[in-house]
Structure 1
Amino acid sequence: MRLRLDAELEQITEQLRALARATDRLHGLLDAVLAISRELELSAVLHRVVTTAMDLVGARYGALGVLHESGEYLEQFIPVGLSEQERADLAETGFPRGKGVLGFLIRHPVPLRVDDIRSHPASAGFPAGHPRLRTLLGVAISVRGSIYGDLYLSERRDGQPFDAHDENIVVALAGAAGIAIENVRLFEQARAGSEQFQRLLLPTLPDLRPFDAAAIYRPAAQPHPLGGDWYDAILLPDDTLAVVIGDVVGHDLHAAAAMASTRNMLRALLFDRRTPPSAVLAQLDRTLQAITDNPVTTVSLARIEPAGPAWRLHWSSAGHLPPLLITPDRQAEYLNAEPGLPLGVSIEHPRPDHTHPVPPDATVVFFTDGLIEHPGHPIDQSLAELAELATAHAALPLEDYVQTLADHHPSDGHDDIAILAIRTPHT
């Protein structure tokens, strides 16, 4: 009697352990689905799918093969788990295209468990330098009803072959992966369309001779449908160059529309009024508040005017960051001055004007805050890093110069970036 009770208790205990393992796996699967759904870049989603599947079943190796649109072979292969030496050994082999057992799964997209790869009828062996794998669990990933690719796992760390529980959880993960892949593809299409729309709103700089000019817009690394950063530069009838950099608060269609309307109004005012930048900004602010519901906007409006053999920067700021002056001998100076209130805050406060000499062959850099903001760094540190970067590359042609600033900026990339650089003529 005692022996039978002990046996039953042991059976119940094992069932409880199995239930606990199943519960842990279910929680692991749910956590994995959430993690995958948070990724917003396709490459990150695909890599996360592989690493998550490996974690869920305790596999040493994993890979995801993406099918060519013909569905006949793999056009992309994402391996995980290879050591540096194994990667080096396979460097000249190239990634698998879908032969052997991998090809069998392409032709028969149902879950595949193999305890001994070499004994499988479709096995074609391993290329030189490839780890000698024994077990395989393969599951197809479908997107909108079509096979997108295959998820492969090999070698459980405990040395056991893959079992039905492993297969079930990987099949469930593959279903979630298909949805995540579709979502991120749709998001990337929408983002690409938004970026194209944003760029269409920004001007192509005209011929500004005798000045040299270049500008760049870079969308945020994190997803924002649209942004409000903009720049502009136009030659005025009085032989001066007007330069504008601005940033509308927000990241949506409203911000983009507000940016476009503000830029167009400002252009009209610049041609109509031969007045100081402060007066132009004051009139712009009154007009915007009278006829629009535009969000708060920061702007820096400058005129580069002849001043004897050199030039003079005459500017007014509506809450915007100061321009950065790089002299011909590569000295950097932020033209700090009273910034004034952003547009859309109050039309009662006066707007100050500022002037500063600009020598020939100098570069003035106007930029939005996305270039320097970083939550982990003080603003002064980011400004110092930008000044160092700007002086180190000041000899570059301006197109390369703004590209370099946008590529190596000190910010965390959470916001859009607009940069406009102007270089004064030689003497």
Structure 2
Amino acid sequence: MREHDADPPDNAQQLLLTLGRLVDQALERIEFQRARVELAMALQRHMLPPELPRLPGVRIGARYAPSRDGLAVGGDWYDAFLMLDGSLGLAIGDVQGHDAEAVAFMGQVRTSLRALAEATSDPGEVLSRTNDLLISMGFGLFATCCFLRFDPGSRDLAVSRAGHVPMVWAAAGGHSGIALDRGGPPLGILPGERYPVTHRRLTEAGVLVLITDGVVEGPDYPMESGLAEVVRLVRAGFDADPDVLASAVIKVAELTGHRDDAAVLVARYDGTPDESLLADPPGTSAP
């Protein structure tokens, strides 16, 4: 007696089997994407400073928000470090791209700038040497950057920019504005480029805020509007802890409609009262 072949599954069974396979595939994709995001975020965290320096009379805070595209990482970065002569270096930058290559290049920019800052006290010279070094590496990418050097003893502040967003400032007396310092082109484009330096002296308690363009500019949101909003927030939150103020400033990015990553670096100086935070601040404006 022959055994009958098994009956083929009915439509309901076939549907359940298909759905099961689709669910398994979806779960695999979710786990893969989660692993990619966790790896990318770990790489990004490794490239940012693990902690910010502490200096008498100066408090520092920072925030970073990842890109909402690609690997959820990008080329925005910040750094703050004590130099051998006791001065404070503050840097922020934005590397072209939003992928692992951009993060790797960002690491080269940050490492190069730190190393070269120990060789010269002139921020413009630091940017010039960093620019030439990056070009010699042949990455084919570029980066904007703003680098500040502050001497707490003399209260001298030297600022140089390479195609980057200007910093925002506010003082205890209620003054605030945008430091429209002269600058040069982004790093990694033109060999032998020289970057101008603006020298100031901090004369009272105040706040300096460095940002990337992902905070203040979007497809339908001009940078001028974003900078004006940052000035308003910094003025209103003048007495806030630097980390709290940095958290408030980085939320401006939600207004821009931009999917770029964003970074904010805040330095608060507890100085002595005077007429202005920035003595002889050429090229500043208060929107």
TM-score by length of 2: 0.80
Match of 1:214 among 61, 69, 72: 61
CA contact (8 A) 1:327 1:359 kept: no
Give identity over the alignment, percent.
28
Deviation of the 1:264 alpha carbon: 1.2
Asked whether 1:321 is paired with 2:165, we answer yes
CA contact (8 A) 1:220 1:413 kept: no
Match of 2:115 among 268, 284, 290: 268
Deviation by residue 1:285-342 (Cα, 9 ceiling, x = unmatched) = 112222342510111111123586xx34311111111011111134321111222111
Q: Which residue of 1 aligns with 2:231?
A: 387
SS of corresponding position for 1:298: strand
RMSD over equivalenced CA pairs, Å: 2.8
Amino acid at match of 1:313: L
CA contact (8 A) 2:135 2:189 kept: no
For the residues of structure 2 that align with 1:226 and 1:292, how far apart are their CA atoms? Answer: 22
Q: Which residue of 1 aligns with 2:144?
A: 298
SS of corresponding position for 2:118: helix
For the residues of structure 2 that align with 1:227 and 1:181, how far apart are their CA atoms? Answer: 27
Match of 1:424 among 258, 269, 273: 269
Which aligned pairs between 1:68-87 and structure 2 lie closer than 5 A? Answer: none
Match of 1:248 among 83, 95, 101: 95
Q: Which residue of 2 aligns with 1:415?
A: 260
Bigger radius of gyration: 1
SS of corresponding position for 1:197: helix
Amino acid at match of 2:190: S
SS of corresponding position for 1:283: helix
CA contact (8 A) 1:222 1:413 kept: no
SS of corresponding position for 2:129: helix
Deviation by residue 1:207-226 (Cα, 9 ceiling, x = unmatched) = 23331111121112333353
Q: Which residue of 1 aligns with 2:197?
A: 353
Distance 1:255 1:426, change over 3 A: same
Amino acid at match of 1:279: E
Match of 2:242 among 373, 393, 398: 398
For the residues of structure 2 that align with 1:365 and 1:291, how far apart are their CA atoms? Answer: 31
CA contact (8 A) 1:258 1:294 kept: no
Asked whether 1:333 is paired with 2:177, we answer yes
> How many residues get paired?
261
Stretches of structure 1 that go unaligned for 5 or more consecutive residues are 1-164
For the residues of structure 2 that align with 1:173 and 1:327, how far apart are their CA atoms? Answer: 63
Stretches of structure 2 that go unaligned for 5 or more consecutive residues are 1-10, 273-287
The structure with higher relative contact order (CA 8 Å, sep 6+) is: 2
Amino acid at match of 1:299: C
CA contact (8 A) 2:160 2:196 kept: yes
Q: Which residue of 2 aligns with 1:236?
A: 83
CA contact (8 A) 2:220 2:256 kept: no
Which aligned pairs between 1:29-40 and structure 2 lie closer than 5 A? Answer: none
